[in-house]
Chains A and B, each alone.
Chain A
Amino acid sequence: MIDTLCDQIEENNTAVASIYCDFLGSKEQTTRNLIGALVKQLVRVLGMVPPEIDRTFKKAKREGRGLRVPDVIQLLEATLARLDRTFICIDGLDECPDKILPELLTSLHAISQGSPSVRLFITGRPHVQSVLERYFPDSVQVILISPNSRDIEEYIAKALREDLNSRAMDCALEAEIMEHIQEQISDVYAIAISKSKAQSNH
């Protein structure tokens, strides 16, 4: 996704910045640190530190104070103003710790409302959609991702090509594996769909 956006960027003054939410690194995942990571990446794209950031840094150092969420939002907005277009990608929103999710979403919404030059791309498991829609009323487009059969076929073909025990493989076995896994996957999906339908009927 990020690479596709990067490839598409023909205009010089466009940037892509991303953050990955992860259960494992939840200690470091504070709103201040996540938004700070966006500013950090944009500063690298710009190749310079905007004077607003330089000033805030020197002041914070002098006074021995750390950055707070409103400060870091302000720095992000100052950096965004130097770019014509910015794509911000948030991967795995469902892995974002519950205690910071409201603050993170409120901040991201404020940023996207304040900067029309920003497009937000968010991925997550289906259950976070309702949370997202609460914080971003009327401004979210949803696309459902499910692997199509061609994707599955390509993926299995690659796994088989790279199989170290490939001597055990012949065309017939390969065809059988392909067919079997595809069937299993469609069964899994059929079960999942019927279950979710049953639940929504209750």
Chain B
Amino acid sequence: MDRSENLQVNATDPGDQNCFNTSKNLQVNATTLGNQNTDCSNIINSFNTTLNSTCADEQLEIQKWLSSLEPGTRHEDVRNRRQDGLGNWFLQTQDFIEWSNFKSGKATLFCSGSPGVGKTYLR
């Protein structure tokens, strides 16, 4: 008997062309496979692993292509050196509250201060 007759794989959501949707992974249709289930599952699992790591690689490649900067690293540094509680008065100003709730008419908030005053370190 030709094994391939028994093998049915479901690729869900075939219309999605984006590599990053993991639902593109193949799934074994267990009911039709019977005893050959294990063999085929192994093949499909290894296919899915390759597919997912290719997607992760491509996602990283796109991120690098978008920008070589990593602002997250700088933010972690600021966060670790910050002393919580300092400058909290600022976060309680009416101007800040209205701006952050999208209630003020002005979309841009400029926080002006001399060097070393702690603008970066506001929590």
Contacts and interface: CB of A to CB of B under 8 A. Distances in A.
Interface of A: 1-5, 8, 17-20, 22, 25, 28-29, 33-37, 39-41, 43-44, 48-49, 51, 53-54, 57, 60, 67, 72, 75, 85, 87, 91-92, 112, 116, 118-126, 128-129, 132, 136, 138-148, 151, 154-155, 158, 192
B85 to A, nearest CB: 6
B17 interface: yes
Interface in B50-67: 59, 62-63, 65-67
A50 to B, nearest CB: 8
B86 A143 contact: no
Given A151-B87, A154-B86, A125 B112 contact: yes
A20 B62 contact: no
Residue of B72, B83, B96, B109 with most partner-chain A CB within 10 A: B109
B110 A145 contact: no
A155 B108 contact: no
7 contacts: A8-B100, A22-B74, A28-B68, A54-B17, A143-B96, A145-B117, A154-B85
Contacts of A136: 108
Given A4-B123, A119-B109, A155-B86, 18 more contacts: A3-B123, A19-B71, A33-B68, A34-B69, A37-B69, A43-B62, A57-B62, A85-B102, A119-B100, A120-B107, A122-B109, A123-B112, A139-B106, A139-B108, A142-B112, A145-B117, A145-B122, A151-B89
Interface in B35-62: 59, 62
B18 interface: yes
Contact of B108 (A28, A122, A192): A122
A162 B1 CA distance: 78
B111 A145 contact: yes
B12 interface: no
B3 to A, nearest CB: 36
Interface in B84-114: 85-87, 89-91, 93, 95-96, 99-100, 102, 104, 106-114
B83 A158 contact: yes
Interface residues of B, number: 49
A141 B120 contact: no
> Interface SS of chain B: helix, strand, loop or mixed?
loop
B115 interface: yes
A58 B68 CA distance: 18
B10 interface: no
CB-CB nearest 3 A-B residue pairs: A36-B67, A145-B113, A37-B67
A18 B63 CA distance: 15
B19 A54 contact: yes
A144 B100 contact: no
Given A123-B113, A141-B108, A151-B87, A49 B75 contact: no
Nearest to B114: A125
Nearest to B98: A141
Contact of B20 (A29, A48, A85, A91): A48
Given A3-B79, A154-B86, A145 B18 contact: no
